[in-house]
Amino acid sequence: MNSENIDQSLTYAIPTPPPGFKSGFIAIIGRPNVGKSTLMNQMVGQKVAIVSPVAQTTRNRLQGILTTENAQIIFVDTPGIHKPHHELGKVLVKNAVNAINSVDVVLFLVDSSIEAGGGDRYIIELLEKTKTPIILGLNKADLQSSQGNAIDESYTRLAEPYRWKIAKFSALTKDGLDSLQTLLIDALEPGPYYYPPDFVTDRPERFIMGELIREQILLLTRQEIPHSVAVVIEQVEETPKVTRVLAAINVERESQKGILIGKNGVMLKSIGIAARQQIQKLISGDVYLKLFVKVEPKWRQSRSRLAEFGYRIEE
């Protein structure tokens, strides 16, 4: 997918839907680390959202597109809903809440390897205010212990007062995803193609490149570098043989810069190698990736810096 040609392609690549065709937008919401991005990647059949063991990996509302013979589902992957501690956190949670009222169906995703908790009930309080149809998704079924029935019952009790339909599955192993897909399509109304059938995301390649770099930072540095990292793609130069990418990694403190670079540049080199491999899969070609690290003090508290790095409240 060439990001430069998205708008042009939309004018002629969208076919007329067949009779009975359904379509719509489905927001995947839930607490951090319940598997929202993993589920969306599995449903669309391609990696469009980054995943890591670190909470709050997803920052932007990212749309993944699944097109079948009789339906087109546009998944909206949202940041995990949590109590925010800084301006960036407020933007993330606000965007997730906004998504609830701007879609056709909400898929409320929970971690079925543990019993329902206060974080889930907090989200239910938000959902009580919407008229959007809701489906409760019990993810991580593959991790359930012998207490699985009791855990499922804790979520069933939450759903019963609202008569939500429930689907149980594992986004990781794909078990139960066919049934989930059927349930989601049944919940949609007849509608048009919103995107060409071969699209898997609405995001341009530059955005995905930046996310793939950030993913490797989270995976390789873990708790040493928390969510004070913003990646900006400064330049992309395409040639017949190689695509050259220049990216800036923005952090808040000099100590974080030192961790990212590592002794003799070893950490930055490791991040670059791993990210380059992922970007090459994205564009199906050779990539030369150049990374550099910048210190932007307290950028997560600055609305102007947040906007500059692509974090805005989405209506």
Alpha carbon 163 to chain centroid, angstroms: 27
Tokens for 179?
Answer: 């049934």
33 and 150 inside one domain: yes
Tokens for 111?
Answer: 């971690």
Sheet of 165-168: strand order equals 62-67, 71-77, 22-29, 105-111, 134-139, 165-168
Q: Could you tell me which of 107, 152, 112 has the C-alpha nearest to residue 127?
A: 107
Given this model, what pLDDT does residue 152 score? 95
Alpha carbon 280 to chain centroid, angstroms: 20
How many domains does the chain divide into?
Answer: 2
* d(C-alpha 98, C-alpha 86), whole Å: 18
For residue 212, the domain's CATH number is 3.30.300.20
141 and 265 inside one domain: no
Given this model, what pLDDT does residue 269 score? 96
The pLDDT confidence band at residue 1, using thresholds 50, 70 and 90, is: very low
232 and 149 inside one domain: no
175 and 243 inside one domain: no
For residue 109, the domain's CATH number is 3.40.50.300
Instruction: Please report whether residue 313 resides in a domain.
Output: no
First and final CA of the chain: distance in angstroms?
26
Say whether pLDDT at 111 is over 90.
Answer: yes
Say whether pLDDT at 236 is over 80.
Answer: yes
Q: Which residues, in sequence order, are CB contacts of 167 under 8 Å at separation 6+? A: 135, 136, 137, 138, 176, 179, 180, 183
112 and 218 inside one domain: no
Instruction: Please report whether residue 133 resides in a domain.
Output: yes
55 and 131 inside one domain: yes
Say whether pLDDT at 2 is over 60.
Answer: no
Domain range holding 245? Answer: 205-308
The pLDDT confidence band at residue 89, using thresholds 50, 70 and 90, is: low
* d(C-alpha 176, C-alpha 144), whole Å: 14
Contact 288, 244 (CB under 8 A): yes
Instruction: Please report whether residue 197 resides in a domain.
Output: no
Q: Which of 187, 221, 243 is the last residue of a domain?
A: 187
* d(C-alpha 88, C-alpha 227), whole Å: 10
97 and 228 inside one domain: no
Given this model, what pLDDT does residue 72 score? 95
Instruction: Please report whether residue 314 resides in a domain.
Output: no
73 and 183 inside one domain: yes
108 and 150 inside one domain: yes
